[in-house]
Amino acid sequence: MSLPRLAILASCALPFLPLEAMAAPLLPHRAVYDLALADATDSSGVTGLSGRMVYEFNGSACDGYTVTFRFVTRIEASEMVRTTDQQTTTFEAGDGSEYSFVTRSFVDTNLDKEVRGSAEMTETETRVAMEEPESVEYELERSQFPSQHLLEVLERANSGENFFETTIYDGSEDGDSVMTTTVILGKKTALAGDDPESGAIAAIESEEFWPVDIAYFDLGDIQGEGTPTYRISFKLYESGITRDLTMDYGDFSIQGRIVDLEMFDAPDDCAQ
């Protein structure tokens, strides 16, 4: 299972943009989500799924952004039950020029895979230096890292756009590829009185949000009838908080509902 992307985007042709100056600052927070099986085809073999996701975001445009992320699932398939545990830590420079990442994936408490590396964004390409699973360097298409993606999604949402195409590099899988995405932005709306997540989001219950849907493709497969590798939909707040997640992997999908939200101190204002 690939790492769910909660905030991603890129613009290959443009130089670095001072996005932090155009959007409200992303707010440090810790969000906990309960996971459940939303749907599964017979061919998937998946009969049940439960789990928890914990996403912690810290930092600022001055100091850079740090994300720690844990995604634990218990998957029931035919006569087999398997527990997977994906643990990721990333750091992104505030101007989107540098990015480092490490992901450790466990299956039934045994380390299955480690992906570790760093990347640099130049005016023409994404330069990647991998340490694990092997020492190798890549020169990939120019893209954008996750926090810059989130800032641009918010900027486009605030400007009233409802569809655009992008790319993203986040170091997932083997860290050797850029993904193409299509992003659909819904109309900003308020929390409904019967929303099942309302009890967990008291800190932001008065704020409006955008429904967002993102489809991910292998780079170059966005034309024609290409099927996305996976899709994710969620509700997005100005502060960068997401909730009501659906992660669709084609033959099965996972629902994530926020059950706890802790807001940290807001970052100090700073000049870029």
Domain boundaries, the chain: 19-263
Return d(Cα 252, Cα 272) in angstroms, integer.
43
pLDDT tens by residue, the chain, 272 residues = 343 433 332 222 223 333 443 456 899 999 999 999 999 998 888 999 999 999 999 999 999 999 999 999 999 988 889 999 999 999 999 999 999 999 999 999 999 999 999 999 999 999 999 999 999 999 999 999 999 989 989 999 999 999 998 889 999 888 899 988 899 999 999 999 899 999 999 999 999 999 999 998 876 555 545 788 889 999 999 999 999 999 999 899 999 999 999 999 887 776 54
Residue 152's pLDDT is: 87
Distance of CA 137 to the CA centre of its chain: 24
Bridge pairing between strands 242-248 and 29-40: unpaired
pLDDT number for residue 149:
86
- Using a CB cutoff of 8 Å and minimum separation of 24, what contacts does 105-114 make? 107/82, 107/83, 108/82, 108/83, 109/83, 109/85
32, 241 contact by CB (below 8 A): no
User: Residue with structure tokens 């996972």?
Assistant: 254
What's at 105, amino acid-wise? S
Other beta carbons within 10 Å of 140: 17
Q: Among 34, 98, 68, which residue's Cα sits nearest to residue 260?
A: 34
d(CA 10, CA 48): 35
Q: Contact at 8 Å (CB) between 57 and 65?
A: yes
* Burial of residue 74 (number of CB atoms within 10 Å: 0-12, 13-18, 19+): middle
* pTM across the whole model: 0.86
Q: 3-state DSSP helix/strand/coil percent for the chain, to nearest 5?
A: 10, 50, 40
- Selection from 181, 151, 185, 147 nearest residue 167 by Cα: 181
Residue 154 CB: number of other CB atoms within 10 A? 25
Q: What is the DSSP string of 132-185?
A: ESS-EEEEEE----HHHHHHHHHHHHHTT--EEEEEE----TTS--PEEEEEEE
Give the tokens for residue 65: 């952004």
